[in-house]
């Protein structure tokens, strides 16, 4: 999955968020007591990890998955769907032709938390999105398969307020 692996990418970038290390204390404190939409739901693993802190009120994925309530492209969600949600929280696909339109769309609707590779912030094409980002919380290397072998890519939670930030991005070190 990572940029250094010999493995083929999984179809439609379906990498379930099964590593509990993906949920840092800072991130948990930021979403505690909130309601959220999960537009890249997969099998619901991220919802399972957040269950004690936040309530998922709406779920979708581009394919039928376990627990996914709606089959829908993430860029089709709108205000009527999100009426009961404070945030958007998801682990989206990382391919830029899918990811960037999602970010544009999500932050036009709600404050958004995305789990993304840490290197994203260093890419030139991502500079616009970093300038709108308000917080970055690193979580380190994660595993995406039941074998619990961690990859070589580090990850972070990126937060965008609705419509982006006018302030410098706050980056915190690992816990």
Residue 71: per-residue pLDDT? 85
Query: Which of 155 and 174 is assigned the larger pLDDT?
Result: 155
What's the rounded Cα separation, in Å, for the pair 51 and 157? 17
Structural domain boundaries enclosing 65: 11-171
Would you say residue 2 lies in a domain? no
Report the CATH number at residue 142: 3.40.50.150
What is 95-108 written as a DSSP string? -HHHHHHHHHHHHH
Which residues touch 172 (CB under 8 Å, ≥6 apart)? 26, 135, 136, 137, 138
Would you say residue 68 lies in a domain? yes
From the list 69, 50, 52, 53, the residue with the least C-alpha distance to 61 is: 69
Would you say residue 4 lies in a domain? no
Would you say residue 6 lies in a domain? no
Number of domains in the chain: 1
Residue 132: per-residue pLDDT? 96
- Average pLDDT of 56-62? 90
Kindly state the percentage of the chain with pLDDT values over 90.
66
Would you say residue 127 lies in a domain? yes
What is 54-69 written as a DSSP string? -EEEEEEESS--TT--
Please name the residue that has the structure tokens 């970038």. 13
Would you say residue 1 lies in a domain? no
Name which of 58-67, 117-126, 153-162, 166-175 the model is least confident about.
58-67
Other beta carbons less than 10 A from residue 30's beta carbon: 19
Residue 175: per-residue pLDDT? 82
């Amino acid at each position: 999955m990572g940029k250094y692996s010999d493995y083929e990418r999984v179809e439609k970038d379906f990498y379930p968020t099964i590593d509990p290390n993906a949920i840092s204390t800072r991130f948990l404190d930021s979403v505690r007591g909130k309601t959220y939409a999960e537009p890249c739901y997969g099998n619901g693993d991220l919802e399972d990890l957040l269950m004690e802190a936040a309530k998922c009120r709406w779920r979708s994925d581009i394919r039928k998955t376990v627990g996914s309530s709606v089959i829908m492209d993430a860029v089709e969600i709108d205000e009527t769907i999100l009426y009961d949600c404070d945030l958007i929280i998801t682990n989206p696909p990382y391919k830029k032709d899918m990811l960037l339109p999602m970010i544009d769309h999500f932050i036009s609707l709600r404050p958004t938390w995305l789990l993304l590779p840490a290197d994203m912030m260093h890419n030139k094409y991502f500079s616009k999105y970093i300038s709108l980002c308000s917080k970055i919380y690193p979580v380190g290397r994660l595993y995406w398969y039941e074998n619990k072998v961690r990859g070589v890519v580090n990850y972070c939670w990126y937060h965008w307020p609705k419509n982006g930030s006018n302030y410098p991005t706050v980056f915190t070190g690992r816990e």
